[in-house]
């Protein structure tokens, strides 16, 4: 599996990207296929990801993931029932190939919002998704 790292600090001067780089370097054995970092505009949140390409080999699935300039996450995990979820997406008239990294689980949040609406995401995670996953 991939490796994720994060720093949360109320003092934006306390940590910088080189600190996060050292953390993700220590995880290089977990993600030899890619590495990227992100720092929030106020400097209080830093996220890093080491990628191990297994299902989705494209660079479109690189992390950290950003959504609407509001949310940023790093994700490590595997969704075991992604094929069934892709069939359900197609049944709703949605092309799952549009969603970068869906086979590796990166488009699941978008699917959840389409299927259940943003207010009912917990239903999806509790009932429909079989996964092993960590977030930062």
Q: Which residues carry out catalysis? A: 2
Q: What is the pLDDT of residues 23-55, one digit of tens each?
A: 999 999 988 999 999 999 999 999 999 998 887
pTM: 0.66
- Please tell me the total count of domains within the chain: 1
Q: What is the pLDDT of residues 101-120, one digit of tens each?
A: 444 444 555 556 555 555 55
pLDDT of 127 > 60? The answer is no
| Residue span of the structural domain in which 76 resides | 3-135
DSSP per-residue letters across the chain: --EEEEEE-S-TTT--HHHHHHHHHTTGGG-BTEEEEEE-TTSSEEEEEEE--SS--SGGG-SSEEETTTEEE-EEEEETTHHHHHHHHHHTT--GGGSTTGGGTTTHHHHHHHHH-GGGHHHHHHHT--EEEEE-
Q: What is the CATH number of the domain that holds 30?
A: 3.60.20.10
């Amino acid at each position: 599996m991939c490796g994720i790292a994060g720093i949360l600090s109320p003092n934006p001067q306390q940590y910088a990207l080189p600190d996060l780089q050292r953390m993700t370097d220590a995880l290089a054995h977990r993600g030899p296929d890619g590495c990227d970092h992100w720092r929030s505009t106020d400097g209080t949140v830093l996220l890093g990801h080491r990628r191990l390409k297994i299902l989705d080999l494209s660079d479109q699935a690189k992390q950290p993931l950003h959504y609407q300039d509001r949310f940023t996450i790093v994700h490590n995990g595997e969704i075991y029932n992604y094929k069934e979820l892709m069939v359900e997406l197609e049944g709703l008239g949605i092309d799952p190939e549009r969603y970068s990294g869906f086979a590796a689980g990166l488009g699941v949040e978008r699917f959840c919002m389409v299927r259940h609406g943003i207010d009912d995401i917990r239903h999806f995670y509790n009932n429909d998704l079989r996964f092993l996953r960590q977030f930062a």
